[in-house]
Amino acid sequence: MITAYKTAQSVLPDYWHKFSPQKFTLPQLFACLVLRVILKTDYRGVAIFLKDCTDLCNVIGLKTVPHFTTLHKASQRLLRNKFADKLLVSTIKRLTKDKDIIALAAIDSTGFDSNYVSRYFVRRRRSKLLDLWEDTIYKRFPKLAIICDCSNHAILSAMTTRGPSVDVNQFCQPLESAADRVEIEHLLADAGYDSEKNHEYARETCNIETTIPAKAGRPTKKLPKGKYRKEMQTDFKEEIYGQRWQVETVFSMIKRNFGSALRARNIESQAREMLLLVLTHNIAIIQLVKELFYRAVLTP
């Protein structure tokens, strides 16, 4: 919570306006939102938790506990793209301050549950003759695409969409955001992002080497016509591509630590909640790095 508070202090103003009530600062409200994600609770739950933990309130200078409606309204404004981008950039700077270049990054996407329905109720029988079942979900679901640093699992950019949808047309936007923030040498992606245009954008526009398996289209023994897709067939860097699983680890960390189901119900709220998960993940890594540093210093 302290890390979230200090991160927000570096990029957010204290108050929305000079004539606002000024009961709570924006960094304090953001720290409360991060705490809500960590506790896996709702706005009412985090307000009750803060009332019981006065010491935690004192750490970030809270004189009174915000009402749960105040936290909800704060999330609607603090998690807009403008402020969320500033907060994400602040976390990236704190995680990459000792290195100027990201040697290896990976891109991928994942879906989140938009309800808490038991998995049992979405099962259907595949065959009446054979006792086989398969899990099938026909609803649209919130989808998050990210680019992460393979060395420390920090998220460099994020894009929220709706699934099910293909990944191939969700490559340039997160890459453009990541390239503006850090210098990436090599980007890994699975076959879902395979297209000559994606290679061209990354290599010629962003000056980033790419490794994407050339498996799009019908199976054939002929080489692809595109320059970069042909290179993927003739000179594929299998050893480097093996690190692509690091982005899967990031998704696993988010879902294991903060849950795989979103509490929000409409599209805009779900997008904000996914961005808050991204920010909380980076803040958790910052805190972990701090703890490891202090242990190394204090251990004789």
Distance of CA 27 to the CA centre of its chain: 20
* Boundary residue ending a domain (23, 53, 78): 78
Whether 124 is covered by a domain: the verdict is no
Residues 230 and 161 in one domain: yes
Residues 108 and 223 in one domain: yes
Residues 71 and 178 in one domain: no
Residue 99: per-residue pLDDT: 72
Residues 279 and 235 in one domain: yes
* Boundary residue ending a domain (78, 101, 127): 78
Residue 221: per-residue pLDDT: 81
Q: Residue 59 corresponds to which tokens in the numbers above?
A: 């750490």
pLDDT digits (tens, 9 = 90+) for 151-189: 999 999 999 999 888 999 999 999 999 999 999 999 999
Residue 164: per-residue pLDDT: 86
Calpha distance 264→204 (Å, rounded): 39
Residues 153 and 195 in one domain: yes
Residue 123: per-residue pLDDT: 57
Residues 67 and 149 in one domain: no
Residues 70 and 165 in one domain: no
Q: Residue 225 corresponds to which tokens in the numbers above?
A: 């016509």
Residue 178: per-residue pLDDT: 93
| Average pLDDT along the chain | 87
Sign of the Cα torsion 159, 4, 44, 252 reads positive
Residues 16 and 101 in one domain: no
* Boundary residue ending a domain (30, 56, 78): 78
Give the domain CATH number at 166.
3.30.420.10
Calpha distance 288→294 (Å, rounded): 10
Calpha distance 2→286 (Å, rounded): 11
Residues 50 and 105 in one domain: no
Q: What predicted TM-score, i.e. pTM, was given to this entire model?
A: 0.89
Give residue 289's domain range. 82-116+142-298
Whether 128 is covered by a domain: the verdict is no
Residues 97 and 53 in one domain: no
Low-confidence ranges of the chain (pLDDT < 50): none
Residue 172: per-residue pLDDT: 94
Whether 121 is covered by a domain: the verdict is no
Q: How many residues does the chain have?
A: 300
Whether 133 is covered by a domain: the verdict is no
Q: Domain total for the chain?
A: 2
Residues 62 and 91 in one domain: no
Whether 156 is covered by a domain: the verdict is yes
Whether 137 is covered by a domain: the verdict is no
Contact 213, 133 (CB under 8 A): no
Residues 33 and 90 in one domain: no
Contact 39, 45 (CB under 8 A): yes
Calpha distance 23→44 (Å, rounded): 19
